[in-house]
Amino acid sequence: MPVKVAVNGYGTIGKRIASAILKNSDFHLVGVAKYTPDYKTIIAAKQGIRIFVPRDEAEAFKSLGIEPEGYVDYLFEEAELIYDASPGGQGAKNKELYIKYRKPAVFQGGEDPSVAEISYSTLCNYSSTLGKRYIRVVSCNTTGLLRILCSLGVANIRRVFATIIRRASDPGEDMKGPVNSIRVDSTRIPSHHGLDVKTVIGNVDVETVAVAVPTTLMHMHVIEVMLKNTPCASIEELRKQGRGRIVTVSSTLADSTGKLLEIARDIGRPRNDVYENIVFTNMFSCREDRLVLIQAVHQEAIVIPENIDVAYGIMNIETDVYKVVDKVNSLLGIGQLHVM
């Protein structure tokens, strides 16, 4: 029988998790918890997704023409696994409910690592999910960094330095900025991204800095990796170890995040989603023990494969990480972005 899944929150990540679950015969989407009646609710209802709401908000949803399936606590009772896709910081409060209903839960990277038993990225620590009840999938930038580092092999890494040029907001978040400036996005070195990397792979020497720029279209990373007395990996080896989740593109063909999203649109990706790290082939320098690369990371979509992977571990469905990766890659069409 498919595992019954609830998604608590239906924003940027929640709606994408819900869409992925709907495609997967190993899981059944019981419904989503919505707290604000808005256009997202109307679209979800028209797609046949069951909507569960707080008791004191039911009339507000009905006034929008949406008849809720029930209250949020009904959703939690019915589900066997809960994805917490609520705003950062709210997940820790929600955890009390998950404990009350004795349900395992997957949290997102906006939560403090202490909310879960482990922080998670598939290519790094899938086996650690087995037997756990509360797992945190790390953020978009951290996921992008960890896919590279764990594909290279953590034991081979001596030092990492990365500059993160991050988008100001997601497309629908028009209340955020900066609008017309570049903002220093961390108050120290390393930024929180480097610290978050260590929650997954331990005390590796990782330093990161971050700036925010006025765009909604993806992040960019400039990464330098110093290796331990070993020749650095070729771009072909990196792609192979990335199991389809690292794709290479020449910047002579697509030199901007806008063009990358246009490629995703043209190949029919839902919501123009890019699930893969996009590494620029002509911006990849491999000299002895020093590797430098530039990659693009789609903040709205990159964590979705890891969110689906983790369900196979936390529910003890599959122990083989490569079987899980291959299955989820096929489900999401990962591999359709051909090398250019």
Catalytic: which of 124, 140, 150, 232?
Answer: 140
CA angle (241, 246, 251) in 5-degree steps: 135
What does the alpha-carbon distance between residue 212 and residue 20 come to, in Å, rounded to a whole number? 29
**124 catalytic per annotation:** no
CB atoms within 10 A of CB 5: 25
Phi then psi for 151, rounded to 5 degrees? -70, -35
Q: Which of 30, 33, 65 is nearest to 46 (CA)?
A: 65
- Give the length of the chain: 340
The tokens describing 314, both together, are: 């936390």
CA 222 to chain centre: 19
Helix boundaries (H) for the chain: 12-23, 39-46, 58-63, 72-78, 90-100, 122-125, 140-152, 192-201, 235-241, 257-266, 304-314, 321-332
Contact between 332 and 20 under an 8 Å Cβ cutoff? The reply is yes
Please give the structure tokens belonging to residue 7: 């998604």
CA nearest to 177, candidates 218, 219, 220, 216:
216
- Per DSSP, helices labelled H in 180-303 are 192-201, 235-241, 257-266
Whether 278 and 244 have beta carbons less than 8 Å apart is answered as no
Residues tagged active-site: 140
